[in-house]
Amino acid sequence: MYLYCKQQGLTLFELIICICILAIIASLAAPHFLQNRRDQERRNIFPLLDQHIKFARNNAILHHSHVAICSSQDLQFCQDDQWNRGILVFIDRNNNKIRDTNELLLQQTTTNLKFGRLKWNGNITHQKIISFQGDTGLNRGALGSFYYCSLDNPNQHLRFKLGKMAILNQIPTITC
């Protein structure tokens, strides 16, 4: 009986060799894994913003009301320059460009960007928020650009320009 169990077992030396091989493989794979996560975040930012803009535009037309997009840390109220944390889409009934407690929250999305910063650079009247009109769904007066600034590689910066027809265009940029 003892010989049968010993043949099925694993010696301490074999276990240490297996752990060393796994540690070498993990140390070689870790940088590639992080680079893959950076690239994935960078690729996903444009579809995320485009989806929110189309959703807000469609809801402005559907509800015949002003619909706004803003950044939020707590996913309840707008906070300036928190695009890295979250995005809110809400019906702005009184058009004050602030989410009040009685205004309907249409969508809340956690972004939690880890490898870059996202910021909105709007015009004078809409510096921190994007607003869509209820009659046409257009973003009159809410022109500007989103900037995705990579934390480790300046060649990875992106600019997403929001045009007059509420269409988001991706433009490569060096500055952020």
pTM of the model: 0.83
**Residue spans of the chain under pLDDT 70:** 1-8
Q: How do residues 110-131 score in pLDDT, each as one tens digit?
A: 999 999 999 999 887 778 899 9
* CATH placement of domain 43-172: 3.55.40.10
Q: Where are the domains of the chain?
A: 43-172
Specify whether the CB–CB gap between 59 and 67 falls below 8 A.
yes
Residue in 22, 41, 24, 52 with CA at minimum distance from that of residue 112: 41
Percent of the chain exceeding pLDDT 90 equals: 69
Specify whether the CB–CB gap between 104 and 113 falls below 8 A.
no
Give the number of other Cβ atoms within 10 Å of residue 170's Cβ: 15
- For residue 106, the one-letter residue type is L
Specify whether the CB–CB gap between 68 and 130 falls below 8 A.
yes
